[in-house]
Structure 1
Amino acid sequence: GRAVAEARKTWDGPKPISIVGSTGSIGTQTLDIVAENPDKFRVVALAAGSNVTLLADQVKTFRPKLVAVRNESLVEELKDALADMEDKPEIIPGEQGIIEVARHPDAVTVVTGIVGCAGLKPTVAAIEAGKDIALANKETLIAGGPFVLPLAHKHKVKILPADSEHSAIFQCIQGLPEGALRRIILTASGGAFKDLPVEKLKEVKVADALKHP
């Protein structure tokens, strides 16, 4: 791995960001916002899993300095897709590439939209590099919360919720005085029991619930 650069908290012009999981739902929506606000944001690094076609389009549009593709067998395909670019980005394959995107020295904020526990390592790497985190990866806090939150406090970084429900709650409680909130009721839009009749819910077992991610 590379030496971790000093955290960058000041910048000129649009805020520099990295996106981990750029071809997924969160990543593509983030890039839509960047495209609509070029005066506010610029992309310095992108990481994706295996959707090389979309990733190549994103690279051509947003021109990051660094690109990672988790599936190492697709690196040559990505290079071929970017062959006509004049200023080609550096490409790092595999998990190490994802981590390098997360801690890119130019990034101030890292959007982590990668699915599952695979998002834990890059999020930790970003925190240790002093990056603020826009977190859409729930597993990072569910599986690693007792470790991740103290780490964020130690490195003085912010963890901001980027997923829809969490962000909605976050926005609702802005400005409330301490102690003003008693409880939060979070409804679900899907899940394992979405279409189950209400009278059947009392028969649900823990194992049934755990089948759903």
Structure 2
Amino acid sequence: GSIGTQTLDIVAENPDKFRVVALAAGSNVTLLADQVKTFRPQLVAVRNESLINELKDALADADYKPEIVAGEQGVIEVARHPDCVTAVTGIVGCAGLKPTVAAIEAGKDIALANKETLIAGGPFVLPLAHKHKVKILPADSEHSAIFQCIQGLPEGALRRIILTASGGAFRDLPVDKLKEVKVADALK
């Protein structure tokens, strides 16, 4: 996804500061194979288990062969890789919760680009991060911008933040129709 490719762009621009030890992807095997050839991670996961052989075939001519795993468990293995210091989690929806929890339990700092992890799992995830002394840093644009703006402010100095919405399921809905919206409509 875009978070992953943007993260790898940063790594490519700063090879003296960052190293990729593990990569996971959903189903874009061609892109993942190219990323493996470029960044040479030790471990690679493809979430869609039916694509593992396609990934192996795409890497058949590569001079470098990482360990390849698949499915949700494979993504969890990537998230808690022993050589990983910071896990960038950008899996869309609640599917990102388990890998993020696994990374936290393994003591990895989290660069979080998945809002659902905190929305659905916040009451569990935040105490878990505190217990394991793990930092959760926002990697999504709006959240990261807010985080950067409030750094250095004394506790209690900020009264409120107003964040305007730029899209979403109800972007084109007339204001008077918003009162009719149900939770199920938002989850579509």
1:186 to partner: Cα distance: 1.0
Compute the TM-score of the two structures, normalised by the length of structure 1.
0.84
Q: Deviations over 1:74-127 (max 9, x none)?
A: 111111111112220000111111011000000100000111111111101100
Q: Secondary structure at the match of 1:42?
A: coil
Give unmatched runs, 5+ long, in structure 1.
1-23
Q: Deviations over 1:137-162 (max 9, x none)?
A: 11111111111111100100100001
Structure 1 position 72, deviation (Å) = 1.2
Give the Cα–Cα distance (whole angstroms) in 2 for the partners of residues 146 and 156 of structure 1: 16
* CA separation of 1:206 and 1:132: change in aligned 2, threshold 3 A: closer
Q: CA deviation at 1:192?
A: 2.2
Alpha-carbon separation, structure 2, partners of 1:27 and 1:109: 13
Number of aligned residues: 188
Change (3 A) 1:87 1:206: closer
Contact 2:88 2:112 in 1 (8 A): yes
Equivalent of 2:61 in 70, 81, 84: 84
For residue 34 of structure 1, what is the aligned residue in structure 2? Answer: 11
Residue 181 (structure 1) aligned to one of 158, 162, 170 = 158
Q: Aligned partners of 1:210 and 1:72: how far apart in 2?
A: 26
Q: Determine if contact 2:37/2:64 at 8 Å carries over to the other structure.
A: no
- TM-score, normalising length: structure 2: 0.94
Moved more, 97-106 or 197-206: 197-206
Structure 1 residues 118 and 210, CA gap change in structure 2 (3 angstroms): closer
More contact order relative to length (CA 8 Å, sep ≥ 6) = 1
Superposed displacement of residue 29, structure 1: 0.7
Contact persistence 2:23–2:45 (CA under 8 A): yes
Q: Provide the C-alpha distance between the structure 1 equivalents of 2:93 and 2:181, rounded to a whole number of angstroms.
A: 24
More helix by share: 2
By how many angstroms is 1:37 displaced?
Answer: 1.0
What percentage of residue pairs aligned between the two structures are identical? Answer: 93
